[in-house]
Amino acid sequence: MIIRELISEIRNSLRSVDVDNWVPGKFIYSKAIGITSLFIKREADDKRLFRYTELWTPIDCLEMEEQDLIQCCNVSIPNCKKVMVSVETLPKMFSTRFGYLLNVTSVDYDRDYTPNTPQSFKYTQSREFNDPNKRYFWFERGKLVIPIISKTQAGPERVTVRGIFINKAEALKLNSCEKETGCIRFMDQEFVAPEHLLQDIKNATVLDILKTNRQIVPDENTELNANRKMSEK
């Protein structure tokens, strides 16, 4: 289902309850993304999410550039002075309690990179024994960061990324879609969610919007009620 269709169906459901209440498409989409995030976290906890291959968008050759570790991340790590940082900022992606829904590998799929944080990686490097062949990545201001562990280790100039991005079109721009030829319009791209959960997501979004509207709709008789209270004194 494309985003345009999702918004239209949710808006029609809202109209069936409150015909005069117009809800902007941007607000509907924002609410739907929030609901979807909760459903996806539940699916990830049940380890079912990785079977939904249609949700994952690949970025085949994400270009990386070398930077100083301190300049990039403002942290000092033993045996690490340089890092490789993605040239482009990655689009926002869904996450779970285990972290972002993202896989990073070498371009030839020969090497996997393990998600980490600067502080956790610093602790790992401080230990007496650690696997010298293991490679890590983390995020810094929306960019992918891969630490270079030793002076002899060459950082990857490109990596392959596979993730569940909130805005699939933004990921496709980094992959193979050129701006000059025109990517898929935002409203015409697929709404990223497991297909069997779409109806539940739509229903939950409708309920959430109705609940929100009830909370913010002002009392049209506020002045009348105030006058009535004064007369009763």
Same domain assignment for residues 8 and 71 = no
Buried b (16+ CB within 10 A) or exposed e, 127-138: eeeeeeeebbbb
Same domain assignment for residues 64 and 43 = no
The residues, any chain, with a CB within 8 Å of residue 51's CB and separated by 6 or more, are: none
Residue 164 confidence (pLDDT): 92
Same domain assignment for residues 77 and 150 = yes
Is this model's pTM higher than 0.85 or not?
no
123 occurs within a structural domain: yes
User: Any idea which residue has 């345009």 for tokens?
Assistant: 4
Task: Summarize pLDDT for 158-198 with one digit per residue, the tens.
Answer: 999 999 999 888 888 887 544 444 456 788 888 999 889 99
Same domain assignment for residues 83 and 28 = no
Q: How many whole angstroms separate alpha carbon 146 and alpha carbon 196?
A: 36
Residue span of the structural domain in which 140 resides: 57-163
Same domain assignment for residues 62 and 99 = yes
The count of domains in the chain is 2
Same domain assignment for residues 62 and 95 = yes
Same domain assignment for residues 78 and 151 = yes
228 occurs within a structural domain: no
Same domain assignment for residues 27 and 90 = no
Task: Summarize pLDDT for 24-55 with one digit per residue, the tens.
Answer: 899 999 999 999 999 988 887 666 777 788 88
222 occurs within a structural domain: no
Q: How many whole angstroms separate alpha carbon 109 and alpha carbon 103?
A: 11
Same domain assignment for residues 48 and 61 = no
